[in-house]
Chain A
Amino acid sequence: MLKRTLQLRTSPHLHSGTSVEAIMFHVALATLPACAFAVYHFGLAALLVLSVSVITCVLTEHVVCHCRRQPTTVADGAAIVTGLLYGMTLPPSLPLWMVVLGAIVAVGVGKMLFGGLGANPFNPALVGRAFLQTAFPLAMTTWSSTASDRFTSVSRSTFTWPLMRPDYDPSSTDGISGATALGLWKSEGTLLPLPDLFWGTVPGCVGETSAALLLLGGLYLIARGMMSWRIPLAILTTVAVGSLLVDQFESERRFDPLTMWFSGGLMLGAMFMATDMVGSPLTGWGCVLYGVGIGALVLIIRGWGGMPEGVMYAILLGNAVSPLIDRYIHPRLFETRQRSAAR
C-alpha cells in the first residue's frame, strides 16, 4: 500500500494512508472481546463454531481464487473478519457441518461470485446466515443454555454427521427451549433484567449477547476513524425513538428502548454488520438515511413480523437500497453550496 498521502494523478488525491489489511486487523481486534466473552459464556461450542467458520471462510476464498486462476486474496484478512462476524451470528449448538455450509455460501456466493472484496452488494456474513436461516429454520432457532460443564463437553448436536438431522440432548430440554430475550418478549411479554442483557449473560447467538463488549469494540473502531459513527447512531436512535413512540400508544406490548437496544443482534448488527464499508452508502447524509431505514425495519420486524428478530433482514434490505441512496444523495462540491449534479 502507498504510504504517501498526496498523490499526483486524477482525483482522489488524498490517501488516508490506511490499507485494507490494517482496517481488517482492527475490525478483528474490535470483535475479540465479544468473541472471548462468547467462549467464556457458551464454552467449547462457541470456540468450535468461531474457529470452524473462520477456517472455512479463508479456505473458501483461497479455493475460489485458485479456481479462477487468480492470485489469492486471503492475505487481506477480509475472509477472517467475515468468518468471525458470521460465526458470531450463529447459535452455539448449531451442527458444525451447517457452520461449514453457511461459511461456503457466505464467502463463495455472497462475496466471490460478485467479484470479491468491494464488489459484493450484501454483507457476506449475513448472506451466509440468511441462507442457513431459510434452509434450517429449526436448527437456527434452537438455543442451548449455559451448563457448568461447558468447557469440557459440547452439545450432542455439534458433531452431527454431515447432512444428517441434528439430535439435541434430551437431558437438557430446558436448554433447548432456552428462549432468547426477544423470543420471551414476543411470546410471553416478559422482559429479562437489563443488567443481564447489557453484560450478556443470556441465551442467544454466539457473539451477540454481550452488548457492552460489542459497544466497546464499536467505539474503538469509531475512535480509530475506521467506521462511520453515523450508521450505528442513526440505527440506535431510530430504534429508541420508535420504541418510545410505540410505547405511548400500545403500552401493553412493552416496547422498552433499552431492552430493544441490548437484546438480540441489534448491537452486533449496528456496530459491525451495517457499517460494512462495501454495503453502506458513501455520503454522511446517505449513512444517516440508511441507518434510520435499518432501525425502522428492525422495529417493524420485531414488533409485527413473524420472527422475533429482524436485524439480519433489515441490514440486508439496507444493503440493497444503499446504491439507490448513493444515486440520489450526492456529496457537496468543494467550496460551493451545491451538490454535484445528478448523473
Chain B
Amino acid sequence: MHTTDAAASEPGVFANGIWKQNPVLVQVLGMCPVLAVSNTTINALAMGLATASVLILSSATVSLLRHWIPPQARIVTFIMVIATFVTCVDYLVQSISIELHRALGAFLSLIVVNCLVLGRAEAFASQQSVRRSLADAAGMGCGFLFALLCLGTVRELVGSGQVFGYPLLGDRYQGWAIMLLPPGGFFSLAGWLMFFRWWTLRRHSASGSTFQLSGPTDG
C-alpha cells in the first residue's frame, strides 16, 4: 500500500490517512482502545487526541532519526520513542483532568503497543522525510480520532441518550445499557464498518471504475 503513497503530495498523504486508508474503518488497526474507550463521546475524543498526538510526535522523531537508527534495533528504538511520548501525554492528561485519566485507565499507557503507532513508524516515518511523515501521522491521527468519535457518539447517544453529556433525546429516553458495555463497542464498530464499506462500494459502482475490495491488512 505504501508504493502508491510515495507519489502523493503532502495534502494527498494527509487525506489518505483520513479516508482511503482510515486506520480503523479500512485498515482495522488498534482495535483494543477503539472498542474499550469509545463508550462516551468525551472518552473517545480524549483517546483520539492522545493517540493522534503520540502518533505525530513519534513519527516526526523517528523520521528525524531515520539515518541514525540501526536496522537491527529499529523496533526497539521506535518503541522507546513512542513510550517516551506516551508518558508525556499520560502526565499531560493527568494534569488536565484526573477524572478523564481515570476513565481512560490503562488504555492511555497502552498506546505504546497500539499497532497503528508502531506501524506508521515502521512503514512510513522510517523511510520518508519529516514533512511527509508529519502529514501522514496527522492524517492517520485524524482518521483514528474520526473513527473513535463515530463510535463514541453512537454508543453514548443510543446508550444514554446523550452526546458530550448533553441530553439530546430528552429525559424520558430509555438508554440501552448494552451500548455502554463491551458488546456495544462490537455492535457499533460492525455497523460503521458496514456503512463505510457500503458507501465506498456504492460510490465506486456509480463512477463506473473498477474497484477491488481491499480487505483488512494484517497489522
User: Contacts of B181 on A, CB cut-off 8 Å?
Assistant: 134
CA distance A139 to B174 in the complex (A): 10
Cβ 8 A contact of A165, one of B172, B177, B178, B179: B172
A59, B108: Cα distance in complex, Å? 45
Q: B75 on the interface (CB 8 Å rule)?
A: no
Cα of A278 to Cα of B23 in the assembled complex, Å: 37
Question: Cβ of B183 and Cβ of A165 under 8 Å apart?
Answer: no
Interface centre among A160, A161, A164 (most CB of B within 10 A): A164
**Whole-angstrom distance between the Cβ of B37 and the nearest chain A Cβ:** 19
Q: Which residues of the other chain, B, contact A137 by a CB distance below 8 angstroms?
A: 177
Q: How far is the CB of A42 from chain B (nearest CB, A)?
A: 22
In the complex, B176 has a CB within 8 A of chain A: yes
Q: Indicate if A40 sits at the interface (CB-CB under 8 A).
A: no
Contact between chains at B172 and A164 (CB < 8 Å): yes
Kindly state the separation between the CA atoms of A135 and B160 in the bound complex, as whole angstroms: 11
- In Å, the complex CA distance between A136 and B169 comes to 17
Q: Which residues of B contact A136 (CB under 8 A)?
A: 174, 176-177
Give chain B residues whose Cβ lies under 8 Å from the Cβ of A135. 176-179
Of A134, A139, A164, which one neighbours B173 at CB under 8 angstroms? A164
What's the nearest-Cβ distance from chain A to residue B194, in Å?
A: 10
Chain A residue contacts of B172, Cβ below 8 A: 161, 164-165
On chain B, the number of residues with a Cβ less than 8 Å from chain A's Cβ atoms is: 10
Across the interface, name the chain B residue whose C-beta is closest to A167.
Answer: B172
A131 within 8 A of partner (CB): yes
Q: In the complex, what's the smallest C-beta–C-beta distance from A198 to chain B, in angstroms? A: 35
Closest residue of A by beta carbon distance from B177: A135
Q: Which residues of B contact A131 (CB under 8 A)?
A: 178
* B169, B174, B176 interface centre (most CB from chain A within 10 Å): B174
Contact with B along A161-205 (1 / 0, CB 8 A): 101111000000000000000000000000000000000000000
**One of B169, B174, B177 near A134 (C-beta < 8 A):** B177
Instruction: Give the nearest-CB partner of B161 in chain A.
Output: A163
Q: Which of B178, B179, B183 has the most CB of A within 10 A?
A: B178
Cβ–Cβ contact A166 & B174, under 8 A: yes
Measured between alpha carbons, how far is A131 from B177 in the docked complex, in Å?
10
Which residues in B have their C-beta under 8 angstroms from that of A163?
169, 173-174
Q: How far is the CA of A167 from the CA of B174 in the complex (A)?
A: 11
Closest to B179 in A: A135
A 137-152 to B, binary, CB cutoff 8 A, 1 in contact else 0: 1010000000000000
Chain B residue with Cβ nearest A166: B174
A153 to B85, CA, bound (A): 64
B150-191 vs A, CB cutoff 8 Å, 1 = contact: the mask equals 000000000000000000010011101111010100000000
Interchain CB contact under 8 A, A165 and B176: no
Which residue, of A134, A139, A160, A166, has the highest number of chain B Cβ atoms within 10 A? A134
Residues of A within 8 A of B176 (CB): 135-136
In the bound complex, residues from chain B placing their C-beta under 8 Å from that of A166 are 174
Among B174, B177, B179, B183, which residue has its beta carbon within 8 angstroms of that of A164? B174
Closest to B187 in A: A109
| Residue on B nearest A132 in the bound complex, by CB | B178
Smallest CB gap from B171: residue in A: A165
Instruction: Tell me, in angstroms, the Cα distance from A161 to B169 when the chains sit together.
Output: 13
With the chains together, A136 CA to B160 CA distance in Å?
12
Interface string of B133-155 (1 = CB under 8 A from A): 00000000000000000000000
Within 300-340 of A, Cβ neighbours of B (below 8 Å) are at none
CA distance A44 to B71 in the complex (A): 74
Interface centre among B169, B172, B173 (most CB of A within 10 A): B172
A156 to chain B, nearest CB (A): 14
Binding site for B on A (CB under 8 A): 131, 134-137, 139, 160-161, 163-166
- Residues of B at the A interface (CB closer than 8 Å) are 169, 172-174, 176-179, 181, 183
Sampled A-B contacts (14; CB under 8 Å): A131-B178, A134-B177, A134-B178, A134-B181, A135-B176, A135-B177, A136-B174, A136-B176, A136-B177, A139-B174, A163-B174, A164-B173, A165-B172, A166-B174
The 7 closest A-B pairs by CB, nearest first: A135-B178, A135-B176, A134-B178, A165-B174, A164-B172, A165-B172, A135-B177
**16 new A-B contacts at CB < 8 Å, known A136-B176, A137-B177, A160-B174:** A131-B178, A134-B177, A134-B181, A134-B183, A135-B176, A135-B177, A135-B178, A136-B177, A139-B174, A163-B169, A163-B173, A163-B174, A164-B174, A165-B173, A165-B174, A166-B174
